[in-house]
Structure 1
Amino acid sequence: MYQTLISVPDLVENLANPNWLVFDCRFSLADTELGLFMYEGNHIQGAYYLHLDNDLSSPITPTTGRHPMPDADQLIAKLRACGLNNDTQVVVYDDNFGAMAARAWWLLRWLGHDQVAVLNGGFEAWRKAQAPMTSHEPEPRQGHFTAHMQPDFIVDVDDLMQPNHPWQLVDARSVERFTGEKELIDPIAGHIPGSWNRPLTDNVEGIYFKAPEVLRAEWEALLKATPLEQIVHVCGSGVTACHNQLAMEYVGLTGSKLYPGSWSEWIRDPSRPIALGKD
């Protein structure tokens, strides 16, 4: 069973296994249909496509962030239509260090499906290995997945507005966005007061995740003695924050949570405080 990362050779070995399911999660914030366009041109053999806006998020409302949590029933129906069963091994990938695939990884775990892993190195590693690719979309196949929801995976904005709350936020955005020096996506710059900054790119070296011993040492240096169950991951819209949780889970630092609304939801209410700079 693979629950965090999987290598290209391990996926190649199991690509024809009928109890395995692969999802392409490539997506660009700058061009929201580019991922689907690339999928239609070439993708891992047998992979289905999950669209960040249409499948892995719900429509934006005046009070939500940019990528609200998807409707669980709709997501379950989509996954079943691709053949998901409760004992299926799922593999998800993208072409951006796993930043988008991690969202699908986290959502499947939120639905109670732990047998899901992100392809280490993503589509680039697959292509470099000259592993099987195609432009043909696989046929729909009906699965019978039954969800076991995990509501305790989530911390929401009301939790974070409570005085003396126990949560320690870790923000996965770039240093420039965290400090407020540069903000090209959201209308207000800065971060939630008290957050620590750990850019998701710090989890990788080249296209691959860092060696587990290196990654664990870096995370332990950041977290110090903070209880893991008090760590809450945030980012711009709740997508790339999942990458930091994936990195922690990969090295055995388990039990952290996610604030799905993240910065783009936080700033919807002008009464919520913001911070600038590194502190």
Structure 2
Amino acid sequence: MSDPTDDARRDLLVTPAELHDILQTQALAGDGPRTRVLDVRWTLAQPSGHSDYRSGHIPGAVYVDLESELSAHGGAELGRHPLPGGEALTHSARRWGLHPDDSVVAYDGGGNLASARLWWLLRDAGFDRVRLLDGALPAWIGAGFALETTEPSPDPGTVILTPGHLPTLALEDVGQFAQEHVLFDVRAPERYRGDVEPMDPIAGHIPGAINLPTSENLDDAGRFLPTEALRARFSLEAATGSGVGFSCGSGITASHALFAFALTGGNGALFPGSWSQWANTPDMPVATGSTP
């Protein structure tokens, strides 16, 4: 009998060779549901990856702007990357050419730290047929597959997205949640400890949060660790998927950790505002150092 997590991995990840075969078959198939490839090139240091995308991307891939399409805009009290509303996300997805019966494969410039945000948003909005390219763009290039520089202009899609299908944590609840359940803070250890804080006004972490850097869910090539290795990274209590939350700087890389958790069969909750919302809210308690 197969391990259910094997099925989860197949449902969530695609290899470069598998994607190449899908695109080759699709090119011959004509009309009908498609696999839409979406390029989410973004980093904190370079929020717009459009120029990198134009210099070379997977053939047919549509560029997705994380700052304008995968985030809303508001005051600092909402955090740096609030979740977009359903109408805005639907508008963006239609620009990408997405139809209700299509599938999505998303990737970014390395590690899928940004493209996991798209994975989470689509699933939260009721669109389940979305996978990540394991190893992201470097894996595609390493496999010897071609890039293109032409930017496609897909016909508008017809999908309707309705957020609210996945669990989230609100600011007013997350502090108590961290005391009573498992809240993973997936930022780099130096930010968790409060040694440095390059983005937000206060350094440290939510009291009770446990540091589990999401970058350590990847191997040296930027691929997700095997399922058993990922399962070992999460505590036995967390492995059940009950009472587990994820926080980061502004809700982006927490989605990546949620994806890694999903590979083990887990189903955690996202704190969308993450540290950027907590640190910009007056009178919130702050912990520093290596312990929760």
* TM-score computed with the length of structure 2 as normaliser: 0.88
In structure 1, the partner of 2:59 is 45
Q: Deviations over 1:230-271 (max 9, x none)?
A: 111100000000111100111222x21100000000011221
Structure 1: how far apart are the matches of 2:164 and 2:85?
14
Q: TM (normalized to structure 1)? A: 0.92
Note if contact 1:229-1:257 (Cα within 8 Å) is conserved in structure 2.
Answer: no
* Paired residue secondary structure (1:147): coil
Listed as ranges, the matches of 1:5-24 within 5 Å are: 5-16=13-24, 17=26, 19-24=34-39
Amino acid at match of 2:19: L
For residues 271 and 227 of structure 1, the distance between their equivalents in structure 2, rounded to whole angstroms, comes to 33
- Please tell me whether the aligned partners of residues 159 and 165 of structure 1 are also in contact (alpha carbons under 8 angstroms): no
1:158-207 Cα shifts (integer Å, max 9, x gaps): 22255897442111101111011122222211000100111011101111
Distance in 1 (CA, whole Å) between partners of 2:249 and 2:134 is 23
Q: Does 1:70 align with 2:84?
A: yes
C-alpha separation in 2, matches of 1:261 and 1:175: 19
More helix per residue: 1 or 2? 2
> Residue 160 of structure 1 contacts residue 167 of structure 1 at CA under 8 Å; is this kept in 2?
no
Query: Which of 237, 246, 250 in structure 2 is aligned with 1:224?
Result: 237
Q: How does 1:147-166 map to 2 (within 5 A)?
A: 147-161=161-175, 166=180
2:259 corresponds to which residue? 246
Could you say if the C-alpha distance between residues 127 and 241 of structure 1 is closer, same or farther in structure 2, counting changes exceeding 3 Å?
same
Instruction: Structure 1: give runs of 5+ residues left out of the alignment.
Output: none
User: Kindly tell me: are residues 121 and 163 of structure 1, through their superposed partners in 2, closer, same or farther at Cα, counting changes over 3 Å?
Assistant: closer
C-alpha change, 1:7 and 1:195, in structure 2 (3 Å) is same
Choose the corresponding residue for 2:273, options 255, 261, 265. 261
* Alignment-derived partner of residue 224 in structure 2: 209
Quickly say closer, same or farther: Cα 1:167–1:85, change in 2 above 3 A: farther
Deviates more, 1:223-232 or 1:92-101: 223-232
- Cα displacement (A) at 1:225: 6.0
Corresponding residue for 1:29?
44
User: For the residues of structure 1 that align with 2:228 and 2:177, how far apart are their CA atoms?
Assistant: 36
- SS where residue 125 of structure 1 aligns? helix
Q: Which moved more, 1:186-195 or 1:60-69?
A: 60-69
Determine the C-alpha separation between the residues in 1 that align with 2:121 and 2:35. 18
Counterpart contact for 2:86–2:162, Cα < 8 Å? no
Letter of the structure 1 residue corresponding to residue 135 of structure 2 = G
How far apart are the structure 1 equivalents of 2:158 and 2:180?
38
Distance across 2 between alignment mates of 1:115 and 1:142: 19
1:274 pairs with 2:289: no
Q: Secondary structure of the equivalent of 2:160?
A: coil
Contact 1:3 1:114 in 2 (8 A): no
Q: Tell me: CA distance 1:25–1:226, structure 2 relative to 1, closer, same or farther (3 Å).
A: closer
- Structure 1 stretches of 4+ with a deviation exceeding 6 A read none
The one-character-per-residue Cα deviations of 1:4-36 (angstroms, maximum 9, x if unpaired) are 211111111111425100110111222323x11
Amino acid at match of 1:80: R
Q: In structure 2, what residue type is equivalent to 1:196?
A: I
The 8 Å contact of residues 79 and 277 in structure 2, kept in 1 or not, is answered as: yes
Worse overlay, 99-108 or 23-32: 23-32
1:44 is paired with a residue of what secondary structure?
coil
Change (3 A) 1:74 1:181: same
Deviation larger for 136-145 or 6-15: 136-145
Tell me the residue number matched to 2:127.
113
Matched, 1:183 2:191: no
2:35 and 2:103 in contact (8 A); partners too: yes
Distance in 2 between residues matched to 1:141 and 1:135, nearest whole Å: 19
